[in-house]
Chain A
Amino acid sequence: MKRRDFLAGAAGALALPGAALAQVDPRDPLVRALTNGAPVRKGKVTLVLPQLADNGNSVPIRITVDSPMTPADHVKSIHLYSERNPVPNMANFYLGPRAGKAEINSRVRLAGSQRVTAVAKLSDGSFWYDAAPIVVTLSACLDES
């Protein structure tokens, strides 16, 4: 193999993980079930989690979506995914134009340090996401507490 070919191949291989970082993995069957193969872009959604949780049994979470929430342009639903929980799809929230403001606050259980992802479906059919890492010192679900 010529040195030039090798470099071109290496650059291609490096570009792939980059593309995966820009989007939620579309091959993930859970996300696929929701999007039906449509692209999920980063942006519009803001997911706020504490950086560190002493106890994974109750972690405050806030999801906001940048949307005018009018009948023509609103958030239809927000879906929460966990990387390490035994039930990866933690919750789905369904909103509508009557919400006035696309923001949800709740408290979740997290089984260990991980990345939590929120995917929002908009009324125009597009999907947006945000993800946040969190360190959990005492995990929920799996231990006897």
Chain B
Amino acid sequence: MAARIQIPREAKRGDVIEVRILIQHPMETGYRHDDVGHLIKRNVINALSCRYDGVEVFRADLSSGISANPYVQFYTVAEASGDLEFTWIDDEGERGSERQAIVVRG
């Protein structure tokens, strides 16, 4: 599962920064049928979390009510240089993770 994280490369300490993540995932609802009429099993990312230097700053429970290729945007305070690490898991137990570094000055 590929994902793209967008955060500023650098920020001043104490700044509120915008964090955006887009994950490639079908978010299969479980209500659709395939070409031969079989129900396609539900498979959505049900949990997403973001750690900043190991401390959880954001968490979300998602459902089939979130669009395919889920996009989430939130904010966090730039405390120190380090990594923002996202982890997620879908209904089939497949885990994904992605990280992005940020440099904090001042």
Contacts and interface: CB of A to CB of B under 8 A. Distances in A.
Interface of A: 57-59, 80, 82, 85-87, 89-96, 98-110, 140-142, 144
Given A86-B31, A106-B72, A144-B33, A98 B77 contact: yes
A104 B16 contact: no
Contact of A91 (B32, B56, B65, B68): B65
A101 B77 CA distance: 8
A47 to B, nearest CB: 14
Given A98-B52, A140-B29, 11 more contacts: A57-B68, A87-B65, A89-B65, A91-B66, A93-B59, A93-B60, A100-B17, A100-B76, A107-B66, A141-B31, A141-B64
Interface string B39-81: 0000000000000100111111111111110111111110100
Contact of B63 (A87, A101, A105, A144): A87
A73 to B, nearest CB: 15
A107 B55 CA distance: 26
B63 A91 contact: yes
B68 A99 contact: no
A93 B58 contact: yes
Contacts of A103: 73-75
A117 B10 CA distance: 36
A86 B64 contact: yes
Nearest to A101: B75
B74 A93 contact: yes
Contacts of A92: 60-61
A108 B67 contact: yes
A109 B64 contact: yes
B54 to A, nearest CB: 12
13 contacts: A85-B64, A87-B63, A92-B60, A94-B59, A98-B76, A98-B79, A102-B75, A103-B74, A104-B74, A105-B72, A105-B73, A106-B72, A108-B66
Contact of B66 (A86, A109, A144): A109
Given A89-B63, A91-B66, A96 B57 contact: yes
Contacts of A91: 60-63, 65-66
Contacts of B59: 93-94
